[in-house]
Structure 1
Amino acid sequence: MKKKFSVKYLLLLIVAIFIAASVFLPVPYFIQRPGSTVPLAELVTVNGQEDDAPGSYSLTSVGVYQGTALRLLQAKFDPFSEIISEEEMFGGATSEEYNQMQEYFMTSSQNSAIEQALKLADKPYHFEFKGVYVMHIDPASDFIDKLAVGDTVVEVDGKQFESSQEFMDYVQNKKVGDTVMIKFLRNGSENKASGQLIELPSNQKAGIGISLVDHTAISSDEKIEFHVENIGGPSAGLMFTLQIYDQL
């Protein structure tokens, strides 16, 4: 009797562990499905005023969820869900790097929307080049353990630049193996690092070994604020533009 009870208890424990694992244990897959539709009046404010104009613009998001065995099973039979692998999702980047890139894309989308809206409204504005935004680091780079995705390089050898093209021209005029000192910002803190230039496989010229884009900021007399803490990526630029322009 005692043996039967022990076997029964063990089976129940195994079933409980299996159910818990299927519900909570993450697997290397993600699920994409339509997210919420949010009125842009809740996400964008211009000069601190409420949007009281007739009609409204909305943003439709895409929800991304970490997969579990149970979620994958549900998604398999949901025509509105798509299962994607971790490799497809991150493209070889870490989750932290991916989130940094999504944050950059959203900021870039906002800046472009502000620029277009101000231009359409014939309002003055100014673009400031803040440095070179690091999007990827070549594993062969001497800076692989010194820079991180999301850093902004602001100086090389004490020299500042007006664009990423100026930055690349300066570095590529040096020789492979030359040592450079860079200054970069990470989470608002200033840092320095030195390293040797490598040969870039794309053009056989000298380089730090990073993929980069311009890190810019836009300023104007109009106070335009975004409240999109849980939304990332390059989308919504057109809708942001319309919402801002409508309030100017």
Structure 2
Amino acid sequence: MKILQVFSSNLKALRQWIKQFKWWLIGALAAFLLLFSLFVPLPYYLEMPGGAYDIRSVLTVDDRKDDQEGSYNFVAVSMSQATLAQLIYGWLTPFTEITSMQETTGGYSNDDYIRMNQFYMETSQNNAVYQALSLAGEEVSLDYMGVYVLNVNENSSFKGILQLADTVTGVNSRTFSSSADLIDYVSGLELGEPVTVQYTSDGKAKEAEGKIIRLENGKNGIGIGLVDHTEVNSDKDIVFSTDGVGGPSAGLMFTLDIYDQLTEEDLRQGRVIAGTGTIEKDGSVGDIGGAALKVVAADKAGAEIFFVPNNPVDEAVLKADPAAKTNYEEAAAAAKELGSKMKIVPVTNVQEAIDYLRKQD
């Protein structure tokens, strides 16, 4: 009888211990999941509306103070590697986009991705300065130094040879006046044909041999991602201070601000003007990502006008996604959803933006 009583007492104690342990385990798991969801980054990025920034805060022309009313604003998208909690927030929040790490960075580290965007920003600034000075009738030249290497395809014969930030200066000892000329030349070479690339790395001139490969777009090439490496020569002292900001999408707005300061035309007329779009040497405005998110940021900043690229959707993109929209269509739809009174103005080149502002004076 005593044995049964002892066994029963021990069993009761065991059950009580298991019950306590169970709740302790559940609490520990809950705490772990909470900490995991809040602090452990996943291989996804969260893109949200950033801010609209007065260009005068990052740019000066001839060290003069621009104190005219109104402002030109470039618009940013806030991007961060997401935790589980942020992903859930993103799924539930309008005007928030979730992208995979591969889609966002191309598989590169965050540091390399930031560096690549700084090269895009440098090229954008140089094109903006050149275009603004040219439109204002000032003496200026845009010297082509080669192309920055941004990435190298896995199947490229230059993989492991060309590195991020190397500058390709020639192909088969030929020099070029733009990256477009370089691309046209190599695309005309035969598949598998031997090719020699001249480049600089860490300030040293080098040369490497490889072959022409078939690219994902069906064209022939050497298999590198690139952006123009240029230098502006002018008597005008135009200084940017854009540390921490990358990418080419502020090109159009940089151009408008510089042009307005050079001509003292005051196209702003006291208005808060925002916009987005790359700028090319010929003044054409190129497409950007996150048009809808940038509309939200500009609207929050009280912008009255928002310039946005209006180029046809690429046929390859339309084939993959028949519902794909132009940047203008994305922006207009976002403004409508917001109920914004901001004027969404489509442009394909900088002159169209200048003409619009003149007509609205």
User: What is the TM-score with the length of structure 1 in the denominator?
Assistant: 0.81
Post-superposition Cα deviations, 1:7-27, rounded to whole Å, max 9, x if no partner, equal 444333222211110011112
Report the alpha carbon displacement of residue 179 of structure 1 after superposing the two structures with TM: 6.4
Report the alpha carbon displacement of residue 124 of structure 1 after superposing the two structures with TM: 0.6
**2:196 alignment counterpart:** 180
Say which structure is richer in helix.
2
Post-superposition Cα deviations, 1:193-246, rounded to whole Å, max 9, x if no partner, equal 533323445456xx5332444322212111111122222222122221122123
Match of 2:239 among 215, 225, 232: 225
**1:44 alignment counterpart:** 59
CA distance in 2, matches of 1:203, 1:78: 40
Instruction: Tell me the SS of whatever aligns to 1:26.
Output: coil
Q: Cα RMSD (Å) of the superposition?
A: 3.0
Report the alpha carbon displacement of residue 72 of structure 1 after superposing the two structures with TM: 1.2
The structure whose RCO (Cα within 8 Å, separation 6+) is larger is 1
Q: 1:171 to 1:195 in 2, by over 3 A?
A: farther
Q: Does 1:103 align with 2:128?
A: no
Report which stretch shifted further, 151-160 or 129-138. 151-160
Report the alpha carbon displacement of residue 29 of structure 1 after superposing the two structures with TM: 1.8
- Percent sequence identity is 35
Q: 1:88 to 1:46 in 2, by over 3 A?
A: same
**2:127 alignment counterpart:** 112
Q: Does 1:31 align with 2:51?
A: no
**1:79 alignment counterpart:** 94
Q: Does 1:58 align with 2:73?
A: yes
Report the alpha carbon displacement of residue 105 of structure 1 after superposing the two structures with TM: 2.5
**1:148 alignment counterpart:** 163
Q: Does 1:246 align with 2:260?
A: yes
Q: 1:11 to 1:193 in 2, by over 3 A?
A: farther
Query: How many residue pairs were aligned?
Result: 243
* Structure 1 residues without counterparts, runs of 5 or longer: none
CA contact (8 A) 2:132 2:258 kept: yes
Report the alpha carbon displacement of residue 162 of structure 1 after superposing the two structures with TM: 4.1
CA distance in 2, matches of 1:218, 1:236: 18
Report the alpha carbon displacement of residue 88 of structure 1 after superposing the two structures with TM: 3.1
Match of 1:22 among 37, 45, 49: 37
CA distance in 1, matches of 2:189, 2:97: 47
CA distance in 1, matches of 2:227, 2:97: 30
Q: 1:17 to 1:189 in 2, by over 3 A?
A: farther
CA distance in 2, matches of 1:167, 1:72: 39
CA distance in 2, matches of 1:56, 1:67: 33
Q: Does 1:130 align with 2:113?
A: no
Instruction: Tell me the SS of whatever aligns to 2:82.
Output: strand
Instruction: Tell me the SS of whatever aligns to 1:117.
Output: helix
Q: 1:26 to 1:195 in 2, by over 3 A?
A: same
Q: 1:5 to 1:190 in 2, by over 3 A?
A: farther
Amino acid of the structure 2 residue aligned with 1:53: Q
Q: Does 1:208 align with 2:186?
A: no
CA distance in 2, matches of 1:95, 1:235: 21
Amino acid of the structure 2 residue aligned with 1:71: Q
User: What is the TM-score with the length of structure 2 in the denominator?
Assistant: 0.58
Q: Does 1:236 align with 2:250?
A: yes
Indicate the structure (1 or 2) with the bigger Cα radius of gyration: 2
CA contact (8 A) 2:123 2:227 kept: no
Amino acid of the structure 1 residue aligned with 2:121: M
Instruction: Tell me the SS of whatever aligns to 1:217.
Output: strand
**2:359 alignment counterpart:** none
Report the alpha carbon displacement of residue 247 of structure 1 after superposing the two structures with TM: 2.2
CA distance in 2, matches of 1:203, 1:37: 38
CA distance in 2, matches of 1:68, 1:236: 29
Amino acid of the structure 2 residue aligned with 1:112: N
